[in-house]
Structure 1
Amino acid sequence: MPDELLDRKSIFSVFVECKASLTRMVKRYSNRQSDVEDILQEAFLNVYSADKNTPISFPKQYLFKATRNLAVRENTKVSEKLTEYIEDSDESLLLTDEKDIFVELAAQQEKELLLLAINQLPGQCRKVTQLRIIEGARMKDIAVKLNITVSTVEKHLAKGLELCDDFVREAILPASSDNEDVNNFPKQQGSVK
């Protein structure tokens, strides 16, 4: 029994003797200062328990090795938790169905401007452009519906898109000679030329 007590004391005395060196080593591996003391205590308990089961021949080396391994493992756990937290928070941000109010407002304004531009087009050109852009109809279906050729649909669509583009450009970037505010729309006219 006194020999056992002497062995336990030797593990303890090795730990006390090497505590400063062990602390420096753990600090190299640990990201958080608060973990250093916890890692040292756990390493001591692990070595003490291992020595209780089977006597350790080289307690100093065993203590350093066990402490280093524990510090590395704890650092890995902290890194994994941080990575999981970041990944979870990124996913939660990406999974939200909420749309930015400014994006919705901009999309609505763009749609209104496009509808305004289409309404300024001449009759047949307006019908073709509206069926294609707003309703998404195929050119062949538009030709059948309006009783015109596909070639005529293509020409009306090209003309409609060009006139709509001009209208939108004027609305967004008014001529500098007009001294208009960028947010003001040009005055509506009977038709776009």
Structure 2
Amino acid sequence: MNTDAAIKAWFQREVLPLAPGLTRFIRRKWPNESDVADLRQEVFARVYLAARDALPVQAKAFVYAVARNHMIDIAKSAHVVSMRHVTDLESAPVPADYITPDRTLLARDELRRLEQGLGRLPPRCREVVYLRKVEGLSTREVAEKLGVTVNTVEQQTLYGIRALNDFMRGGSGKIQRAASVTTISPKVVRR
């Protein structure tokens, strides 16, 4: 355990000077500019709390690893996650000693599971999700490429992402379409 005075001194000496670079790093990796300051503050808070147990040997590497992991956690917990966005975050430079065999195996397992989930989708839905979320094409571009309407692309993307989310959480990964509402006209009774 470190004293508050030691943590504060370390934080001011080692971490606060990293603020401009950390801001640029977050800005490059995060799609919403308005979140950058909040993300930076959350990273600082996490670094400060972690320093209570032990001061990191390499402050810069530790701060950037915390930032990268925090953004990945937020992106993965979002309802709909752009696969390109998570890939961009995961390609961020981290110290070699931070990439452990356990983390590598877990990441590969998640990727295999995602591929399995994609494989379970109907062909058209799979193609739409792949083009939208992996290739990063716009809804209009996918519609033009596949010769379908924009509405079809939006619906297939929604169904596919929901099914993938279900599959990644241990569910069946089957597409759940909203029940259609039908009106039943009353029979006319003649006397």
TM (normalized to structure 2)? Answer: 0.41
Structure with greater helix share of residues: 1
- The TM-score normalised by the length of structure 1 is 0.40
